[in-house]
DNA sequence: GATATATTTAATAGCCCTATTAATTACGAT
DNA sequence: ATCGTAATTAATAGGGCTATTAAATATATC
């Protein structure tokens, strides 16, 4: 009666949708494109996901969680503040490297369609506020020891996100400005990963 | 025979287009929307600009120049490296504040439609390369004096762009994460403007 | 193997969007 | 006032996209 295992088709559709949403965003990805990508009939896309909007959301939600969780999990095994922070920055960078189009899509779709912030908020609850408070405390403790200057946690987080994300968001512009090809760009990425950690740690010195 | 002065209509269309392109991007802005915004017939949009694509380009070009020129003009009256850099960072931030949707649209449209990089490149020629080289020299001179550490100019510029732009690109997400309203957000912006200069200068210390 | 259910397809309704065309009005020059 | 050009409009062709429907095929269950 019931499907035991996800037949591969539904999964395929989701994957094709992911690829195309990444490449073109929501508005410019059509259900016909998705079907063509999978090699199935366009009606199937609607059969499984009803509407394009619902398909997008089911893709979007999992990605939002992925994007956020980088900060939460990484670096907790480290003992020093500097060690923890370094690992968090690196982990964030690495997840972006694996999903280079993700930050862009995130910012884009939320901008164009502000209601999506709700799905965002619903997924996270008040975790952000708690996280910020905890982070503020850590900073305060470290500052009390005189090892770093005081800075609001939100500013530090924004700095990390922005410095890491820019390489992926601005990828085509950077290539155009610098004339770098794909290979050189990869090298830049490796350098930038170190540079970001370095610059951020320096910027925190008292 | 010839139009002496741009009749206001063409200008109005361009302005309405600008507003809507900022709000919704290219794909989701329709010529009918633009006409409605202006209060004119939709055919007029095509009468003046032929196609939606051409209309977009004529808006896009001027904006690209605006975006770039911030770096070139600002701070040249200052004498010290630190003074110059500070002014450049601030000027860049201020231009973004006046055009909060600009970086986003820039990144977005170039991502979705990579051919636009050409219009980008055509507008700028090899200015970027020259600029980078000049900046590299300034950094080297300053580093030789022991006042800052060595860093590739491209990294420094990317840091500036990313740290400044993030507040505008991620506006809705930041509001969602922090729960800030418009007023609080404005305050954050003011603080962030200072913080960016501060953090960047610190990150350069030897 | 018969029957029920799940999957897939073909066809299409209905909508909205871009761009064009042909007709109308406004306006400047002589 | 008239003629010519510019500006504007109404109407619509033509195309593409989403979503639905009804029919066909595959798959599981008994």
> What is the CATH T-level fold of the domain B1-50, as seen in this structure?
Arc Repressor Mutant, subunit A (1.10.10)
Q: How many pairs of residues across A and B have Cβ atoms under 8 Å apart?
A: 135
- Cβ of B42 near strand C (under 7 Å)? The reply is yes
* CATH 1.10.3720.10 matches B59-203: no
Q: Please count the other Cβ atoms lying within 10 Å of the Cβ belonging to residue A69.
A: 12
* Distance of alpha carbon B100 from alpha carbon A48, whole angstroms: 39
CA distance B71 to chain A (A): 14
Tell which residue, A64, A166, A167, has the closest CA to residue A106.
A64
What is the rounded (10 degree) CA torsion for A58, A61, A63, A68?
Answer: -170
Determine the distance between A53 (CA) and C15 (C1') in angstroms.
17
Residue pair B26/B55 in contact by the 8 Å Cβ criterion: no
Q: Which of B33, B118, B172 to mutate: most A Cβ within 10 Å?
A: B172
Contact B82, B153 (CB under 8 A): no
A1 CA → C5 C1’, Å:
6
Q: Each residue of B140-158: pLDDT tens digit?
A: 999 999 999 999 998 899 8
Could you say which nucleotides of strand D lie within 7 A of any protein CB atom? 5-11, 16-22, 28-29
A167-to-A80, A158, B76, B109 alpha-carbon distances in Å: 28, 15, 28, 16
Secondary structure (3-state) at B41: coil
Domains of chain B by residue range: 1-50, 59-203
Nucleic strand C under 7 Å from the C-beta of A37? no
Give residues with Cβ within 8 angstroms of B181, minimum separation 6: B175
Q: Does residue B132 register a pLDDT over 80?
A: yes
Residues B82-102: tens digit of each pLDDT = 999 999 999 999 989 998 988
Q: Give the residue among B60, B136, B145 at the shortest CA–CA distance from B99.
A: B60
Residues whose C-beta lies under 7 Å from strand D: A 1, 29-32, 42-43, 46, 50-53; B 1-3, 7, 9, 40-44, 47
pLDDT value of position A103: 85
Superfamily (CATH) of domain A60-203 = Tetracycline Repressor, domain 2 (1.10.357.10)
Q: Is the CB of B32 under 7 A from strand C?
A: yes
**Residuewise pLDDT in 10s, chain A (206 residues):** 333 344 489 999 999 999 999 988 888 899 999 999 999 999 999 999 999 999 998 888 878 777 777 777 888 899 999 999 999 999 999 989 998 988 888 888 888 777 778 777 777 777 778 888 988 999 999 999 999 999 999 889 988 988 899 899 888 888 877 888 999 999 999 999 999 999 899 999 98
Interface test with B, best of A158, A167, A198 (most B CBs within 10 A): A158
At residue B5 the predicted structure's pLDDT band, cuts being 50, 70 and 90, is very low
User: Per-residue pLDDT for B205 more than 50?
Assistant: yes
Alpha-carbon gap: B106 to the closest alpha carbon of chain A (Å): 9
Please tell me the predicted confidence (pLDDT) of residue B6: 45
Q: A202 and B200 in contact by Cβ < 8 A?
A: no
- Residue A64: list chain B partners with CB under 8 A: none
Residue A148: exposure state from Cβ atoms within 10 A (0-12, 13-18, ≥19):
buried
Residue scoring higher pLDDT (B26 or B197)? B197
pLDDT of residue B1: 34
- Would you call A163 and B162 a contact, using CB atoms and an 8 Å cutoff? yes
B1-50 and B59-203, same CATH topology: no
Query: B108–A104: do the CB atoms touch at under 8 Å?
Result: yes
- Residue A44, nucleotide of least CA–C1' distance: C8
Lowest-confidence pick of A35-44, B66-75, B127-136, B185-194: B66-75
Compute the distance between CA of residue A63 and CA of residue A100 in angstroms, rounded to an integer: 12
Spatial distance between the Cα atoms of A44 and B54, rounded to a whole number of angstroms: 36
Grade residue B60 by pLDDT with cuts at 50, 70 and 90: confident
Strand C closer than 7 A to residue B8 Cβ:
no
């Amino acid at each position: 009666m019931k499907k035991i295992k996800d037949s591969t088709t539904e999964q395929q559709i989701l994957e094709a949708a992911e690829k195309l949403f990444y490449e073109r965003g929501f508005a410019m990805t059509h259900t016909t494109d998705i079907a063509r990508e999978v090699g199935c009939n366009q009606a199937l896309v609607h059969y499984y996901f009803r509407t394009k909007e619902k398909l997008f959301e089911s893709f979007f939600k999992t990605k939002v969680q992925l994007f956020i969780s980088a900060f939460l999990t990484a670096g907790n095994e480290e003992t020093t503040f500097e060690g923890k922070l370094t690992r968090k920055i690196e982990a964030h960078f690495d997840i972006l490297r694996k999903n280079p189009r993700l930050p862009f899509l995130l910012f884009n779709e939320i901008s164009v369609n502000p209601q999506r912030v709700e799905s965002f908020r619903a997924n996270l609850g008040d975790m952000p506020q708690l996280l910020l408070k905890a982070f503020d405390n850590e900073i305060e403790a470290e500052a009390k020891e005189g090892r770093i200057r005081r800075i609001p946690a939100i500013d530090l987080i924004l700095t990390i996100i922005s410095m890491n994300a820019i390489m992926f968001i601005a990828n085509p512009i950077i290539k155009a400005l610098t004339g770098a090809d794909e290979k050189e760009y990869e090298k830049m990425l490796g350098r930038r990963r170190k540079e970001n950690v370095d610059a951020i740690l320096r910027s925190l010195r008292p």
